[in-house]
């Protein structure tokens, strides 16, 4: 009898492994192997997690009818997809299978619903109060939304009854006077994400959550009420528990309203703000200094102005360079475009430093003193490399380049030349939205150290490289220098002709991350790129539907014999194939020469055209 390695593991380790696996996958994979494993799964695994994201309807039905009835009382975490997912209808069906959540999932601590509609939430809400031990409820997620992405028709404007045991809540609320009037109870929630809160109801809303220490939301313009924060009864109360505040503030919210609220949170430690065309006082350093809590240790903001009102950017930025800001490590930058008609005022996120100049020759970060940043590993640079702050980054590993293509090659600032030749520098990133030209990349590679071997770019950028015959010398340079390629834009895939140019250019790649449209293309690249040690390839699920054994498919269609393969979820309708490739001495060269190449559509088409 063959004894598996799992059989020899201590019971405690098997239980710990179960904490990291989906319970349905765990039981489908291991239950029934032997009596010992069955006993461990049934009697020692008491904290099971179930996640129905990216599951087929057949698998869902199997889990709900065969596995969940056996383990329901031991499930502590449950995640379900809503009607906006790739598998709509699972939530209503789940509530058909399990009509009383509170009497079945008696130890459920965490429940999450993703990609939902309002109707999904409406059918779920009546079941939630039954879950008396539920501590974490997430309808959506805890990531703050942008105001223009909010559909108010999908929000709840009235209070809904939730378990009193909750400590963490994400819910699609729109908090207005209407909500305040329907809620007169307090909850012990400590972490809260709601979609939108009207500024004039913020104080009253906070009074419902006296233990709240983290709040994430969009702060909206005043609702129908004529009240303002200062006149709300009980508004003198201090919210001593609030430590973390993450906000997107719409343009109609005045700074005075927001500052009034800040005076009620004296223990605030972290404040994160994003705003588009905010009240002009949000851009005033002195206003912030007068209203921020002395206990605030982390302050990040990103304020974007697109109006045509002129600003003196240097005067605007200067107060943010005072000791008040620099002594706290709050470094503020101003990025402008279109000669100041568009600009962003934001804090720099350590350990990333932005040395970013828009092409209107406004130098806003210029400094005559040399500053050393020993912990910086990533830098962003505009194409105009003759401009630079005097920053020294001895441990920089990657540089992201932005740039407009004007056909000229800029003189590189000596400080930037030092960056390019830093011993740790290995990775060039080309921005997707404002990319540098292929010629400029070649110029940078020529000035960089030989250690640069990683390139991140978009498929669009590669297309622009391949379409011009004059770029062949740049392709040759990439062949010589690049050993790892990451394609981070998925809106465009390479054509067959581009794939040939791609394979020729990157013939020496050792690692690749790419999106393809067919398994034939995957086989073509894997057979051409003989130096690969790792590949991450995203493919449509429709291409993989008929492949039941990926390992066998790789053996039959590529040269590789020594490899490890893993399939992971990609997008909504795609999957990622991760391939780790071992020794290249064990290859199927005969199969490659006589079958694999000649059967590929690209090769077959050229043979028919030229030789038959």
pLDDT of residue 597: 43
Class of residue 233 by CB neighbours under 10 A (exposed 0-12, middle 13-18, buried 19+): exposed
Rounded to two decimals, the pTM is 0.61
- Residue 494 in any domain: the answer is no
Q: What is the largest CA-CA distance in the chain?
A: 89
pLDDT (tens digit per residue) in 17-35:
888 889 998 898 888 888 8
pLDDT of residue 493: 65
pLDDT (tens digit per residue) in 224-249:
544 444 444 445 789 999 999 999 99
Res 81 pLDDT > 60: yes
Distance of alpha carbon 585 from alpha carbon 588, whole angstroms = 9
pLDDT of residue 112: 95
pLDDT (tens digit per residue) in 247-290:
999 989 999 999 999 999 999 999 999 998 899 999 999 999 99
More confident residue, 295 or 30: 295
Res 37 pLDDT > 50: yes
- Residue 315 in any domain: the answer is yes
Nearest alpha carbon to residue 510 among 565, 584, 592: 584
- Looking at the chain, how many residues does it have? 612
Task: Provide the number of structural domains found in the chain.
Answer: 1
322 neighbors 348 (Cβ within 8 angstroms) = no
pLDDT of residue 583: 67
CA 570 to chain centre: 13
Task: Report the percentage of the chain scoring pLDDT > 70.
Answer: 81
Distance of alpha carbon 445 from alpha carbon 468, whole angstroms = 19
Q: Find which of 137-141, 382-386, 606-610 is predicted with most confidence, using mean pLDDT.
A: 137-141
- Residue 219 in any domain: the answer is yes
Res 603 pLDDT > 50: no
338 conformational bin, left if phi > 0, alpha if psi -120 to 50, beta if neither = left
Dihedral sign for Cα atoms in the order 338, 342, 345, 348: negative
pLDDT (tens digit per residue) in 148-157:
678 888 999 9
- Residue 271 in any domain: the answer is yes
pLDDT (tens digit per residue) in 423-471:
899 999 998 877 888 888 888 888 898 899 999 998 888 888 888 888 8
pLDDT (tens digit per residue) in 64-77:
999 999 999 999 99
Half-sphere exposure of 444 (CA within 13 A, CB side): 31
Class of residue 573 by CB neighbours under 10 A (exposed 0-12, middle 13-18, buried 19+): exposed
What mean pLDDT do residues 139-144 have? 78
Q: Which domain holds residue 299?
A: 141-226+235-349
- Residue 208 in any domain: the answer is yes
- Residue 273 in any domain: the answer is yes
- Residue 261 in any domain: the answer is yes
- Residue 253 in any domain: the answer is yes
> H-type helices in 451-549, by residue range?
459-466, 472-481, 496-505, 519-528, 541-544
Lowest mean pLDDT among 124-133, 379-388, 493-502: 379-388
Q: Is 262 helix (H, G, I), strand (E, B) or coil?
A: helix
Res 404 pLDDT > 80: no
């Amino acid at each position: 009898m063959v004894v598996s390695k799992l059989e020899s593991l201590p019971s405690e380790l098997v239980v710990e492994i179960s904490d990291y696996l989906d319970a349905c996958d765990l039981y489908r994979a291991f239950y029934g192997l032997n009596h010992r494993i069955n006993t461990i799964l049934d009697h020692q695994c008491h904290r099971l997690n179930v996640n129905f994201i990216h599951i087929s309807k057949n698998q869902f039905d199997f889990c709900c009818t065969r596995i969940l009835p056996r383990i329901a009382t031991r499930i502590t975490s449950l995640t379900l997809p809503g009607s906006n997912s790739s598998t709509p209808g699972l939530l209503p069906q789940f509530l058909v299978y399990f009509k009383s959540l509170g009497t079945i999932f008696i130890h459920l601590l965490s429940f999450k619903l993703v990609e939902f509609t309002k109707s999904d939430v409406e059918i779920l809400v009546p079941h939630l109060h039954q879950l008396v031990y539920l501590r974490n409820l997430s309808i959506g997620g805890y990531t703050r939304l942008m105001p223009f992405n909010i559909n108010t028709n999908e929000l709840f404007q009235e209070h809904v009854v939730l378990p009193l045991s909750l400590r963490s809540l994400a819910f699609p609320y729109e908090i207005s006077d209407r909500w305040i009037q329907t809620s007169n109870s307090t909850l012990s929630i400590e972490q809260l994400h709601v979609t939108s809160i009207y500024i004039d109801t913020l104080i009253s809303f906070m009074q419902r959550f006296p233990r709240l220490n983290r709040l994430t939301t969009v702060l909206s313009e005043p609702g129908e009420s004529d009240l303002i924060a200062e006149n709300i009864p009980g508004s003198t109360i201090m919210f001593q528990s609030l430590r973390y505040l993450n906000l997107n503030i719409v343009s109609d919210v005045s700074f005075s309203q927001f500052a009034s609220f800040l005076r009620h949170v004296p223990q605030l430690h972290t404040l994160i703000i994003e705003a588009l065309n905010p009240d002009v006082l949000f851009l005033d350093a002195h206003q912030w200094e007068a209203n921020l809590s002395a206990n605030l240790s982390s302050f990040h903001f990103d304020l974007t102005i697109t109006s045509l009102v002129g600003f003196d950017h240097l005067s605007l930025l200067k107060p943010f360079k005072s000791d008040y800001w620099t002594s706290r490590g709050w470094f503020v930058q101003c990025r402008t475009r279109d000669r100041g008609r568009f600009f962003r005022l934001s804090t720099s996120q350590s350990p990333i430093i932005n040395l970013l100049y828009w092409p209107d020759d406004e130098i806003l970060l210029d400094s005559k003193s040399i500053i050393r940043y020993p912990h910086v590993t990533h830098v962003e640079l505009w194409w105009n490399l003759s401009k630079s702050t005097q920053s020294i980054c001895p441990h920089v590993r990657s540089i992201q380049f932005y740039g407009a293509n004007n056909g000229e090659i800029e003189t590189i600032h000596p400080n930037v030349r030092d960056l390019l030749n830093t011993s740790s520098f290995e990775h060039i990133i080309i921005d997707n939205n404002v990319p540098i030209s292929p010629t400029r990349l070649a110029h940078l590679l020529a000035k960089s150290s030989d250690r640069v071997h990683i390139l991140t770019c978009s498929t669009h950028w590669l297309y622009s490289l391949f379409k011009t015959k004059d770029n062949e010398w740049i392709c040759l340079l990439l062949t010589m220098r690049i050993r790892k390629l990451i394609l981070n834009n998925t809106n465009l895939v390479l054509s067959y002709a581009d794939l040939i140019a791609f394979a020729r250019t990157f013939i020496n790649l050792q690692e690749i991350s790419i999106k393809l449209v067919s398994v034939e293309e995957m086989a073509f690249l894997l057979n051409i790129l003989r130096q690969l040690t790792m590949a991450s390839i995203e493919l449509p699920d429709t291409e993989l539907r008929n492949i039941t054994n990926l390992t066998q498919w790789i053996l039959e269609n590529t040269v590789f014999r020594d490899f490890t393969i893993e399939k992971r979820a990609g997008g909504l309708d795609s999957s990622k194939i991760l391939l780790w490739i071992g020794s290249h001495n064990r290859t199927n060269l005969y199969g490659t020469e006589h079958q694999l190449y000649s059967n590929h559509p690209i090769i077959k088409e050229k043979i028919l055209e030229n030789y038959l």
